[in-house]
């Protein structure tokens, strides 16, 4: 593995490119022959860096979101982007795509889908929608305003990006149970962030899921990623100071009421009641 990528070759929501250099430094703490298990592999960037920095290590990349399929289709993606560049050649960069140009763009994408049976909509989104505003299908794109943000160069093929990795695709809990008893295992834990848009992931994700990940951390070596809005560190600190509390809502009855803040925003009020102790 000659090149170390410090960002994922294709767009991916939540890739850890801003942490890449610091992650390399943190890896120095672990043995060169350790087993690293990337439970929420995403773009594979953490796995790639771990293998590059520790070539004698076993690095398990959980490609649950099908990133390797996107990499395999880079030649087709480049062909589609080249066609879109021609359509938008005389169109102002950053301008909303409307009228005949919009129809030609959508038709081009549809024809590409029919011809190749595959469109990398996440990568495509980064060229005709705002940054980090990803869609997963042509029907979703038809409902959105499109913008001329077409990438001006082809994506490199990156055949070496996943080189040397043990690639799996399964629920992270299954992977964890498979490797949890491996001596000296190090878990790379980068779950979807709580209260953020997870539409590009092939999973649903709520508070209980986010907290379930804490089971992975207990009793194991790990590198864990979170962000300040999750309040997970504050929560765990509080739980550590109140170990005997248990669940105060156990045994409660619950009533709910669906309310409207305005014409397009709703929320659910909850009332919990417990009449015995």
What is the separation of C-alpha 65 from the centre of its chain, rounded to a whole number of angstroms? 8
Name the residue range of residue 76's domain. 69-147
Closest CA to 223 of 14, 52, 19: 19
Burial of 85 per CB tally in 10 Å (0-12, 13-18, 19+): middle
Whether residue 120 is contained in a domain is answered as: yes
Domains of the chain: total: 1
pLDDT tens across the length of the chain (277 residues)? 578 999 999 999 877 888 889 999 999 999 999 999 999 999 999 999 999 999 999 999 999 999 999 999 999 999 999 999 999 999 999 999 999 999 999 999 999 999 999 999 999 999 999 877 888 999 999 999 999 999 999 999 999 999 999 999 999 999 999 999 999 899 999 988 765 555 555 556 688 888 888 888 888 999 998 877 767 788 888 888 888 888 777 887 777 777 766 666 676 777 666 566 5
Whether residue 139 is contained in a domain is answered as: yes
Q: Are 271 and 254 in contact (CB under 8 A)?
A: yes
Q: Are 80 and 87 in contact (CB under 8 A)?
A: no
Q: Are 236 and 214 in contact (CB under 8 A)?
A: yes
Whether residue 208 is contained in a domain is answered as: no
Check residue 254 and give its pLDDT. Answer: 77
Whole-number Cα distances in Å, 90 to 46, 87, 130, 148, 158: 40, 8, 20, 11, 31
Whether residue 198 is contained in a domain is answered as: no
Check residue 270 and give its pLDDT. Answer: 72
Check residue 137 and give its pLDDT. Answer: 94
How far apart, in whole angstroms, are the C-alpha atoms of residue 261 and residue 191?
30
Burial of 23 per CB tally in 10 Å (0-12, 13-18, 19+): buried
Whether residue 223 is contained in a domain is answered as: no
Check residue 129 and give its pLDDT. Answer: 92
Whether residue 142 is contained in a domain is answered as: yes
């Amino acid at each position: 593995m000659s090149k170390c990528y410090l960002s994922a070759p294709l767009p991916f929501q939540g890739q850890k490119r801003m942490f890449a250099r610091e992650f390399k430094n943190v890896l120095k703490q672990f043995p060169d022959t350790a087993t690293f298990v990337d439970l929420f592999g995403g773009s594979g960037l953490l796995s790639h860096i771990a293998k590059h920095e520790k070539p004698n290590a076993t690095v398990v990349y959980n490609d649950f979101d099908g990133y390797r399929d996107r990499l395999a289709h880079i030649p087709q993606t480049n062909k589609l982007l080249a066609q879109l560049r021609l359509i938008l050649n005389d169109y102002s960069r950053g301008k909303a795509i409307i009228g005949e140009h919009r129809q030609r763009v959508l038709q081009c994408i549809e024809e590409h889908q029919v011809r190749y049976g595959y469109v990398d909509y996440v990568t495509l989104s980064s060229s005709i929608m705002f940054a980090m505003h990803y869609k997963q299908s042509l029907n979703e794109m038809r409902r959105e305003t499109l913008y001329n943000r077409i990438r001006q160069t082809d994506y490199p093929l990156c055949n070496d990006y996943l080189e040397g990795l043990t690639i799996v695709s399964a629920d992270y809990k299954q992977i964890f149970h498979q490797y949890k008893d491996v001596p000296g295992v190090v878990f790379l834990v980068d779950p979807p962030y709580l209260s953020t848009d997870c539409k590009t992931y092939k999973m649903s994700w709520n508070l209980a899921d986010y907290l379930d990940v804490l089971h992975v951390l207990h009793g194991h070596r790990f590198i864990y990623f979170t962000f300040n809005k999750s309040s997970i560190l504050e929560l765990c600190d509080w739980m550590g100071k109140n170990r005997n509390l248990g669940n105060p809502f156990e045994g409660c009855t619950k009533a709910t009421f669906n309310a409207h803040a305005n014409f397009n925003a709703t929320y659910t009020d909850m009332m919990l009641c417990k009449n015995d102790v």
